[in-house]
Amino acid sequence: MKEFLVRKAKKEDMKDVYEMIKGLAIFEKMPNEVKISPETLQKDGFGPNPTFHCFVAELNSEIIGFTIYYYCYSTWLGTSIFLEDLFVKEEFRKQGVGEELFKKVAKLAHESSHRLDFHVLRWNPAVDFYKKLGAIDLTKTEEWHLYRLNDEALNKLFS
């Protein structure tokens, strides 16, 4: 593969990122869960107070992968980074693109915060990739479990 570039995403990249988000949802066996639009991504990531940040991997003017992350806060450690998504188009996987995208966010965590957190589905083959880079499964080591109130639960709580 020719040399690819990892760069900070631009507002106009969000249409391509949106298509890859839909591809990620299909990969994760949740194709009907994507409720946002490219316009939502543009508004949320590039407004006066962005709620997320994004890097893209580009090859010959084609966006071939992305990562979305945001800053959060630990009452024990201070600022940290949460990696929401990392996705590489299938035909470009296992060529170093995902590792470069991951390292771009990890470098920010190393320089400006105290940790980098992310979720991985148990069956996802990327689990080995993340372990190779030093990731620790908190469910096993610290017995943390992730909980969520979805839209239905929130509506029930406040109705």
CATH (domain of 112): 3.40.630.30
Beta-sheet strand order (sheet of 78-88): 5-8, 53-59, 62-74, 78-88, 116-118
Sign of CA dihedral 59, 60, 64, 69: positive
pLDDT digits (tens, 9 = 90+) for 93-133: 999 999 999 999 999 999 988 899 999 999 999 999 999 99
Distance, in Å, from the CA atom of 68 to the CA atom of 86, rounded to the nearest integer, reads: 7
pLDDT digits (tens, 9 = 90+) for 45-57: 999 999 999 999 9
In this prediction, residue 1 carries a pLDDT of 59
Distance, in Å, from the CA atom of 20 to the CA atom of 71, rounded to the nearest integer, reads: 22
C-alpha closest to that of 91 among 157, 154, 4, 8: 4
Distance, in Å, from the CA atom of 46 to the CA atom of 68, rounded to the nearest integer, reads: 13
What are the structure tokens assigned to 150, written together?
Answer: 């979805």
Count of domains for the chain: 1
What is the identity of the amino acid at 38?
P
Range of the domain at 37: 5-157
C-alpha closest to that of 56 among 109, 105, 124: 105
Return the ∠ at Cα 130 (arms to 86 and 100), rounded to 5°.
55
Determine if the pTM surpasses 0.95.
Answer: no
C-alpha closest to that of 117 among 156, 73, 78, 81: 81
pLDDT digits (tens, 9 = 90+) for 60-103: 999 999 999 999 999 988 999 999 999 999 999 999 999 999 99
Catalytic residue IDs: 130
The number of residues making up the chain comes to 159
